[in-house]
Amino acid sequence: MKYSLGKIGIMCFALLIFGMVSIAFAQTQYPNLGQKELVIKRGFTKEALSCIECHAKKMPGTVESWKISNMSHAGVSCYDCHTVEKRSPMASQCEGLKGTDIYISPMVSSKTCSRCHPQEVEQFLKSGHAALAGAAIMDPKKGKLQKLMYQFEGCAFMDNDKLDLSTGLTPKGKPAYVRVSKTAGCQMCHGTQVELGPDNKPINETWPGGVGTRYPDGAIGTCTVCHTRHRFSIADSRKPEACGACHLGPDHPNIEIYFESKHGQQYLSHGDEWNYESAPDTWEPGDYTAPTCATCHMSGIGELATTHNVQERLKWDLMHKKSVIRSGDRGDGLKGDKLMRKVCVNCHGPTHTDVQRITLDNMNELYNKQWAGAVKMKKELADKGLLKKDPWKDGYQELMYYLWHHTGRRARQGAAMNAPDYAHWHGTFQMFQVYKDMEDIYNYRIKNNKIEELSTVMSSAPY
């Protein structure tokens, strides 16, 4: 989008406000005073204006945020994003539209945005934020991993074994609380498959959802996870808080890692002096003195153009059980390595950048070595019938989960993004402690040919 549109937009909007104030006056007193009406009609149609005017009374918060957005200045309104064709599976009518032939939906997917922003949406759809983010919780039959995560990360407890794994829903008659951990948790970050009731409104708490939400018309993706509605700001999305909503906590503490890094320290000290408003692809060093998440993973910088495909600049897959160089639908790791280096060299020399890249490679080697040892011990225990069926009641398997999902990710991501405390004290240090405990359990079971009676692990332990 060319930002020159912005100025014209702002002028139109100013005229529009003036127009709105004088509309009643103009129409009754001076029916032939066409000029201001013409401006309004050019900016917003009569139908579009009616949504704004009524909602300004009924939902002032929404309208106020929208008013300060650059899109409102460019004449994009409720009407453009919320109206749908009558035959859309999501079509309904709000109180103000009953009796008209205008249909709307409270659901707005990336498909709506793609009418005006096709490139951003195309890139987004190739990234892990789209289908893959949803697959992690919605396609549990696809892989053992999903099943394990879905069933056991809190869902398959207290009646939740009755859940239908393919939909994440409970059989009829079951109380709704059994799916609440998905609704309040997984779904708000990863996304959800929206289901509709007879009035074409979402049911079963399957909306709203996170980044990879799947809509009834087949569209994927909720763009407002970073461009919070109804302001849809580019500035918001450049700040680390936009990502920290989901990228935090014991299993992927990216925002914590960032705040610990020298980059985050610069943001915390000087971030309020930085300029976040530059036009797309022109946000460069000088506007800021250190990178945010967006700078490294998305924004145009130096030779690089902005991308909505967050895996484009990654070499490693650091989220799964074994670190591997990215390929297939997880991207192209070797290309990713080259692109990420192009980010660093805007502010660092090649020696500094090489050291960081080698450190990450070495951390992956160390982690993979421990993971391989854990897999070998587990296989032997399984062959001898020395594993429990429920992994959360089995000390060995529980620790193995922490090795990968918590401590191992922290070590790898801490090393990747320059946070020594996460790389070591929350990372490698705890990795080796977990590993030693696993060795003890393994030795006990092999020596005694039985499983110890009580779990040696407390789930709330410091892991």
Amino acid at 323: S
The H or E element that residue 104 is part of is: strand 103-104
Based on the shown chain and the rule CB under 6 A, indicate whether residue 77 belongs to the binding site for ligand HEC.
yes
Q: What minimum distance in Å lies between the beta carbon of 231 and ligand HEC?
A: 8
Based on the shown chain and the rule CB under 6 A, indicate whether residue 397 belongs to the binding site for ligand HEC.
no
Burial class (CB in 10 A: 0-12, 13-18, 19+), 195: middle
Based on the shown chain and the rule CB under 6 A, indicate whether residue 112 belongs to the binding site for ligand HEC.
yes
How far lies 33's CA from each of 163, 344, 443, in Å?
64, 59, 91
Buried b (16+ CB within 10 A) or exposed e, 232-255: bbbbebbbbebbbebbbeebbbbb
Based on the shown chain and the rule CB under 6 A, indicate whether residue 457 belongs to the binding site for ligand HEC.
no
Nearest residue relative to ligand HEC (C-beta):
96
Eight-state DSSP code of residue 462: -
Q: For residues 177 and 166, is the Cβ–Cβ distance under 8 A?
A: no
Q: What minimum distance in Å lies between the beta carbon of 208 and ligand HEC?
A: 4
Q: What minimum distance in Å lies between the beta carbon of 450 and ligand HEC?
A: 32
Please give, one letter per residue, the 3-state secondary structure of 15-52: HHHHHHHHHHHHHHHCCCCHHHHHHHHHHCCHHHHHHH
If the CB atoms of residues 289 and 433 are measured against ligand HEC, the closer one turns out to be 289
Three-state DSSP class for 316? strand
3-state helix vs strand vs coil in the chain, percent to 5: 55, 5, 40
* From candidates 19, 170, 178, 190, binder to ligand HEC by CB under 6 A: 190
If the CB atoms of residues 339 and 387 are measured against ligand HEC, the closer one turns out to be 339
Q: What minimum distance in Å lies between the beta carbon of 446 and ligand HEC?
A: 31
Stretch that binds ligand HEC, among 26-34, 153-161, 442-450, 454-462 (CB under 6 A): 153-161
* From candidates 90, 156, 340, 403, binder to ligand HEC by CB under 6 A: 340
- For residue 146, give every residue at least 6 positions away whose Cβ sits within 8 Å of its Cβ, in sequence order, or none: 135, 136, 137, 139, 140
Based on the shown chain and the rule CB under 6 A, indicate whether residue 5 belongs to the binding site for ligand HEC.
yes
Interaction with ligand HEC in 422-441: which residues (CB under 6 A)?
Answer: none
If the CB atoms of residues 333 and 373 are measured against ligand HEC, the closer one turns out to be 333
What the block records as the tokens of 342 is 């192009």
Eight-state DSSP code of residue 325: E
The H or E element that residue 360 is part of is: helix 350-383
- CA dist 139 and 132 (Å) reads 9
Binding mask 42-61 for ligand HEC (x = CB under 6 A): -----x--xxx-xx--xx--
Q: What minimum distance in Å lies between the beta carbon of 69 and ligand HEC?
A: 7
Stretch that binds ligand HEC, among 11-19, 336-344, 369-377, 453-461 (CB under 6 A): 336-344
Burial class (CB in 10 A: 0-12, 13-18, 19+), 66: buried
Interaction with ligand HEC in 238-277: which residues (CB under 6 A)?
Answer: 238, 240, 242-247, 249, 252, 254-255, 258, 262-263, 266
Stretch that binds ligand HEC, among 19-27, 131-139, 164-172, 383-391 (CB under 6 A): 131-139
Based on the shown chain and the rule CB under 6 A, indicate whether residue 315 belongs to the binding site for ligand HEC.
yes
Based on the shown chain and the rule CB under 6 A, indicate whether residue 381 belongs to the binding site for ligand HEC.
no
Based on the shown chain and the rule CB under 6 A, indicate whether residue 379 belongs to the binding site for ligand HEC.
no
If the CB atoms of residues 3 and 444 are measured against ligand HEC, the closer one turns out to be 3
Q: What minimum distance in Å lies between the beta carbon of 317 and ligand HEC?
A: 5
The H or E element that residue 196 is part of is: strand 195-196
* From candidates 43, 216, 253, 291, binder to ligand HEC by CB under 6 A: 291
If the CB atoms of residues 190 and 445 are measured against ligand HEC, the closer one turns out to be 190
- CA dist 351 and 328 (Å) reads 31
What the block records as the tokens of 45 is 């149609």
Stretch that binds ligand HEC, among 410-418, 424-432, 434-442, 449-457 (CB under 6 A): 410-418
Q: For residues 340 and 332, is the Cβ–Cβ distance under 8 A?
A: no
Residue 290 CA from chain centroid, whole number: 23
* From candidates 22, 88, 146, 228, binder to ligand HEC by CB under 6 A: 146
